[in-house]
Amino acid sequence: MNLNNILILTKKDLTLFFKNRFFSMITILGLVAFIIIYFALPKLEEDKIKIGIYSDVSLTKIYYFLELHDTEVYDASSIEDLKEKVSKKVISFGIYFPSNVKEKKTLKLIVNAETENEMKEAYEYIAKELFHTEFGYQLNIESENEIIGVDLAGKQIPVRKRLIPILAFFLIIAETLGLSTLISDELENKTIYALLSTPVTVGDIFFSKGVMGLITTLIPSLLFILITVGFRNFPLIFLLLIFGSLFAISIGFLIGSIAKDMMSIIGYGFVIFILIIIPSFNVLAPGTLSSWVKIIPAYYLVDGLHKIINFNSPFLSLLPNILILIISQGILFLFGSLILKRRLI
Amino acid sequence: MEKVIEANELTYSYGKNLAVDHISFYVNKGEILGFLGPNGAGKTTTFKMLVGLLKPKEGTAKVLGLDISKEPKKIQRRIGVCFEYTNLYEELSAKENLILFANLFGIKNFNPYELIEKVGLKGKENDLVKTFSKGMKQRLMVARSLVNDPEILFLDEPTQGLDPVSSEEIRNIILEEKNKGKTIFLTTHDMYEADKLSDRVAFINYGKIVALDAPLNLKTKFGKRGLKLKLQKENGEIYEKNIVLDKDDTLENILSTFKQDKVITVHSEEATLEDIFIKITGRGLKE
């Protein structure tokens, strides 16, 4: 491979990419729109609190008080039911009033392991207020944690923070169509033969496409991350974004090698995009998807970004994600190359 | 005479379909070799092998003394290639297209304006190629094949689908390059073009070279020369007569005809390359 040729071809591809108004609009508007979406969402986590109650004694004033304050209440059928609803995040927290609550002045506060400490304190304060409302005096609190998962415990994430990995992922994959178009055009317009009849090699052409793809996928997502997350965990995020970009490039390469024109690029792209955005929902609403989504390599990109951005996960816990991305990229590139080889003859 | 292209038993097949079947030929330096044959005869496959885009399945070929299978990139530095289809970057200007390729050849201080003027596109330097007519695009393709001042020009059907004026302009550029001492490998199915431009022509049919010689030699060898006369009888009736030349009774035939009736017009006739191609292969060039 010749570095000079790669630079010349990359410059040419970038010129062609930005001469295409559709793709330059997607790049710029996508970045701007996602930043606006991020900042338009509330900074705090969901403010509506749903309280679960299970009591061995008769409660009268609490329900009236909560209704007055427009707070949703879940009446648990047992303490186990209460714990289950807390663990599944159906309710924000649970309060168990044992039969001796009045004598011991003690109740059980059940909170999820992922609940931030500040929120736990807030829930304890609410429980104390409710006890005071019902019985007229102060009480001791015994809180019990339901452990759900180990790694991600201890932090409630606002929606907009959950959206960061998803939007960064969308910015990465949005650029694949541009890359596919450049590859497909090179084949369909047969300009690739003009290039190959010069000192340029097939390696130079595809490496330059890769560089072009890396620039167009990495820069918008990197800018978005820097604006929304800043430099926190930057080296790890940067590393994962590079692998994410390479994943998008491999998809673009495959689509470009199959497609014959813009319509077929959109057709293939649409099907592939639907498939690869499914894992994003797992970040937005954890536990809503079946485990089969893990066969989609895109899951490991979104999941990896989610882990670093929202849980400060260390490199070792991201290693499986990175390895799976590398393997899937290799497979996609291999398929793309085989198809291209057939088309070039 | 220095041979700059030498093919020896060159063969290529697409699966089971044998496109080029053990062909051997050479091209001398400074010569134009016309590769003449109908569509699907194997012209473009041979062309692609010689410019290093396809690897021969059998046989060898040397271009400028270099093996096309082993050193295609070294060869490509020294040749210019013009394809039968338009493969320019349509979203770039004429100037940008030429500069891109000049950069890929590593040419310093390249002046695109000179080439653009040479192919008659002066004033269109900054226009996007997508706004060009087919003739203009083809001229730009020829200009692109000249950016590295090549020693050999490979031209695949350079005038296909062009109007007569554009075709003639491209032919003039080809002759101009020949006069500069460049070697030209020209594939075409236009017998007029092959006849006008080529020092020698190779007839290719179903992947095999069936004849290779100078156009005049082929005509002498395979064609019939003749006279076409328009005559008038004493009673005023006008009729036509053909006399075949180079036969034992030709002179006698001419004299008796001229004595007998009034000659209105006389035209000499010679076989075209197409006639000869049909005679040799049994099929036309436009099939």
Amino acid A2: pLDDT: 83
B83 reaches A (C-beta below 8 A): yes
Check: CB of residue A124 under 8 Å from CB of residue A109. Answer: yes
Amino acid A41: pLDDT: 66
What residues in A contact B105, CB-CB < 8 Å?
Answer: 198-199
Q: How much is the average pLDDT of A206-213?
A: 89
Task: List pLDDT tens digits, range B239-262.
Answer: 988 888 877 888 888 888 888 888
Q: For B100, which of A12, A19, A197 is closest by C-beta distance?
A: A12
Of the listed ranges A156-165, A255-264, B247-256, the least confidently predicted one is A156-165
Dihedral sign, CA of A201, A202, A206, A209?
A: positive
Give the nearest chain B residue to A201 (CA atoms). Answer: B73
Amino acid A118: pLDDT: 60
What residues in B contact A23, CB-CB < 8 Å?
Answer: none
Q: Which residue has the higher pLDDT, A30 or A243?
A: A243
Amino acid A150: pLDDT: 40
pLDDT band at A290; cut points 50, 70, 90: low
Amino acid A154: pLDDT: 43
B92 reaches A (C-beta below 8 A): yes
> Cα–Cα distance between A255 and A53 in angstroms, integer?
54
B55 reaches A (C-beta below 8 A): no
Task: List pLDDT tens digits, range A113-155.
Answer: 767 666 777 788 788 888 888 887 776 666 555 544 343 444 5
Task: List pLDDT tens digits, range A261-288.
Answer: 888 888 888 888 888 888 777 776 665 5
Q: Where are the domains of chain B?
A: 3-220, 224-269
Task: List pLDDT tens digits, range B175-227.
Answer: 999 999 999 999 988 888 888 899 999 999 999 999 999 988 888 887 777 88
Task: List pLDDT tens digits, range A66-123.
Answer: 877 778 888 899 888 988 888 877 888 888 888 888 787 778 888 877 676 667 777 8
pLDDT band at A337; cut points 50, 70, 90: confident
> Cα–Cα distance between A51 and A138 in angstroms, integer?
20
Q: How much is the average pLDDT of A184-201?
A: 91
> Cα–Cα distance between A81 and A94 in angstroms, integer?
10
Amino acid B191: pLDDT: 85
The reply to whether residue A4 touches residue B106, judged by beta carbons under 8 angstroms, is yes
- Rounded to 5 degrees, φ, ψ at A67 are -65, -40
What residues in B contact A198, CB-CB < 8 Å?
Answer: 76-77, 101, 104-105, 148
Of the listed ranges A189-203, A227-241, A304-318, the least confidently predicted one is A304-318
Amino acid A72: pLDDT: 83
- Rounded to 5 degrees, φ, ψ at B179 are -65, -20
Helix axes A234-258, A315-344, angle to 10 degrees: 20
Tell me the CB-side half-sphere exposure of residue A236, using CA atoms within 13 A.
21
Check: CB of residue B189 under 8 Å from CB of residue B40. Answer: no
Which of A11, A21, A198 is most worth mutating to test chain B (most B CB atoms within 10 A of its CB)? A198
SS3 A238: helix
Amino acid A148: pLDDT: 42
Compute how many other C-beta atoms are within 10 angstroms of the C-beta atom of residue B214.
12
- Domain B3-220 bears CATH identifier 3.30.479.10: no
A2 reaches B (C-beta below 8 A): no
The reply to whether residue A12 touches residue B92, judged by beta carbons under 8 angstroms, is yes
What residues in B contact A191, CB-CB < 8 Å?
Answer: 87-89
Amino acid B31: pLDDT: 95
Residue B47, amino acid: F
Predicted-complex ipTM score: 0.85
What residues in B contact A200, CB-CB < 8 Å?
Answer: 104
Please report, in angstroms and rounded to a whole number, the separation of the first and last CA atoms in chain A.
21
Q: Nearest-CA neighbor of A52 among A24, A79, A22, A19?
A: A79
- Count of residues making up chain A: 345
Q: Which residue has the higher pLDDT, A30 or A228?
A: A228
A194 reaches B (C-beta below 8 A): yes
Q: What is the DSSP letter of A147?
A: P
The reply to whether residue A12 touches residue B14, judged by beta carbons under 8 angstroms, is no
Looking up tokens 């690897």 gives B55
Amino acid A157: pLDDT: 66
Q: For A196, which of B14, B53, B106 is closest by C-beta distance?
A: B53
Dihedral sign, CA of A175, A177, A183, A189?
A: negative
pLDDT band at A245; cut points 50, 70, 90: very high
Check: CB of residue B173 under 8 Å from CB of residue B117. Answer: no
Amino acid A116: pLDDT: 63
Amino acid A153: pLDDT: 42
Nearest chain A CA: its distance from B136 CA (Å): 17
> Cα–Cα distance between B180 and B183 in angstroms, integer?
9
A3 reaches B (C-beta below 8 A): no
Nearest chain B CA: its distance from A177 CA (Å): 18
Residues in chain B with pLDDT values less than 70: 284-287
